[in-house]
Amino acid sequence: MTTNSRRIIIGGDKGSLSVYEPASQDVWNLPSHAAKINAMAVSYDNRFVAASSEDGNVSLYDFTESKPLKLNGATGTVRALSFSPTGLVLASGNDEGKVSLWNCITREKIQTFQSTGQKILCLAFSPDGKKLAWGSVDNVVIVWDVEDNKQIHALRGHKDWVRAIAFSRDGQSLTTGSYDKTIRHWNTQTGELNSTLTGHRSWVTDLNYSPDGKYLISSGADGQAIIFDKAGKMTQRITDLSQVVCASQFSYDGRFIVAADLTPVVKLYNCTVLNIEPWKPFDITPPSVVILSPKLLASKDIASGSRKSSVHQSSVRLLLEVNDLSGVTEVLVNGNKLERIEGYPDRYQFNFSVPINTESTLVINATDKIGNVAQEKLLVEHKPFSGTINKDKYYALLIANQVYSDPGIVSLDQPVKDMQRLRQALLQYYSFDEKNITVMENPNRNQLYAALDELQAKLDKLDNLLIFYAGHGYWDEQLQQGYWLPSDAEPNKRSTWLSNGTLRDYIGGIGARHTLLVTDACFSGGIFKSRSIFENASAAIETLYLRKSRKAMTSGTLEKVPDRSVFIDFLIRRLEQNQEPYITAEELFSGLRREVINNSPNNQVPQYGEIGQTGDEGGEFIFIRKN
């Protein structure tokens, strides 16, 4: 579980790694392993997830960079992983009895502790990061001083393998679970046994404290998870699980419990009745500051302490993702306070100018609630675009359906006018030739198919395609499918509609290098599983143009939108007012999103992202300004 309670990481016995987001109920996959997952851990700043598998592979996935990483060194077969409170150090315990510390940034091994030589099954850092404890198959628990690199305690008392381990939230107690079916509380200062808990009829598989430290949840191979209070009293049993409960954990916001057993189902339980207070981390680190845009050229320059970027436009948007364990209180850029982007609580934006052939320096300061401060310096250099983009290879298919032949479908007033306004903006301001723009007023289903077939036959990898649709849309909740309604559509007869699935297949099959779909219709957000518009950093124009893209920009999500569209108004206004020679679709969208939200009568939220399963490679559709 991530500490912001937004993601649950799930490891499978066939090497799969999945991410489940409870709020949206989205599930997506991380790069998988070739063998059974033995252990997982998530860093407290939610940046990294580590996983080890039976084949001796240990992976490190960086959420901020959206890429998998490898540790630089041999790990052995690892069955226990734990992150330090800083999130910068990963501890691993292997079958040879060795505990290794790894730098998460360089991925190099820092040091190795040689234990008793017995297989290590569990591992945990203390809340202040100064102690590391592990349990092994010799029934002994070792408590290690990380700073002085020496053993503090060897805790003996379990009659069988030590399988689970957890520090209390205040770090004063260490709790261990064993194959001997018992749970033991140890004093971390003296090493003395405080108490022994019973209740499981088989071995204990996992232990986790509630975020406020008032409760302990234990998992067992007897098919149950048990909740104990601070005094050691059993308060609740969860028994609707299979024979072996592999793991159970409180969410860090204290609202629910997540549990996994040997079935392919992960269960969530409401625990608000326990009145658990949200997690208050032991925060010793400054905020994490990630520059998402503009694209960074290389790693930080050691001499100046600056990061560098090169841009082709004089108007530049700085996009930051700032996270902290205790919360971020202030983000400043050159002394200017930034506000969070609405809908993206960890994102901040700052617009600035870089004169042609010059450079500007930005100083970014982020402060958390404890007072820890992080500083980043960014040197942004303006360089004229030296690449070539063929202006004759831009095509547009503009579709407007407002008059419907079936009286059961209400006709509209605006789609054709909106389409003609967009056509005029493209011809007047951008590199679209009239012979390459296809205009379709009130096309029927067969005409839509014919137009898409023609594009599929004509366009190649040097072409750029813009598809615009305005008209009625429909979202089928039962089928989880969206539809366009052609002019000959019949109510409740899906065979006369055009589904998002069919449209997605066409977009994937059209050979253009870049395809941008812009839809102004009800329920248009169903074309993709919406990704944040800031999921990937903006790169230099050449790089974005060379990479294939399949993107969609929609006027809303899964909601109705009005006939009179503020979305198309602001889209055309942004196209007309732009003075940059090159503007990406993502930059175009970011400039109109807030205006649409603030001015729409029904608070519609426009969306932007990649169209799944169509071959997107991270590129962007680029509008080229005339003259």
User: What is the pLDDT, as a whole number, of residue 184?
Assistant: 98
Q: Are 298 and 308 in contact (CB under 8 A)?
A: yes
List, for residues 189-238, the tens digit of each pLDDT value. 999 999 999 999 999 999 999 988 999 999 999 999 999 998 999 999 99
Average pLDDT over every residue of 424-429:
94
Q: Of 8-17, 347-356, 414-423, 518-527, where does mean pLDDT reach its minimum?
A: 518-527
Name the residue with tokens 């990483």.
69
Report the predicted TM-score, pTM, of the whole model to 2 decimal places. Answer: 0.52
User: What is the pLDDT, as a whole number, of residue 468?
Assistant: 95
* Nearest-10 crossing angle of helices 415-429, 566-577: 10
User: What is the pLDDT, as a whole number, of residue 596?
Assistant: 80
Instruction: Indicate the length of the chain as a whole number.
Output: 627
pLDDT band at 614 (very low <50, low <70, confident <90, very high): confident
Q: Which two tokens stand for residue 242?
A: 């299979």
Domains in the chain: boundaries: 8-204, 205-282, 288-382, 391-624
One fold for both 288-382 and 391-624?
no
User: What is the pLDDT, as a whole number, of residue 546?
Assistant: 74
Fold of 288-382: Immunoglobulin-like (2.60.40)
What does the radius of gyration of the chain's CA atoms come to, in whole angstroms?
28
Which residues neighbour 593 within 8 Å (Cβ) at sequence distance 6 or greater?
533, 605, 606, 608
In Å, what is the CA distance from 34 to each residue of 16, 56, 59, 182, 205?
A: 8, 10, 11, 34, 24
Residue 487 identity (one-letter amino acid): S
Fold of 205-282: Thrombin, subunit H (2.40.10)
SS (H, E, C) 35-85: CCEEEEEECCCCCEEEEEECCCCEEEEECCCCEEEECECCCCCEEEEEECC
Q: Which of 53, 56, 16, 49 minimizes the C-alpha distance to 37?
A: 53
Fold of 391-624: Rossmann fold (3.40.50)
Query: Other CB atoms closer than 10 Å to residue 595's CB: what's the count?
Result: 17
For residues 297 and 294, give the distance between their C-alpha atoms in angstroms, rounded to a whole number.
9
| Residue range 8-204 in CATH 3.30.300.30 | no
Which residues neighbour 577 within 8 Å (Cβ) at sequence distance 6 or greater?
none
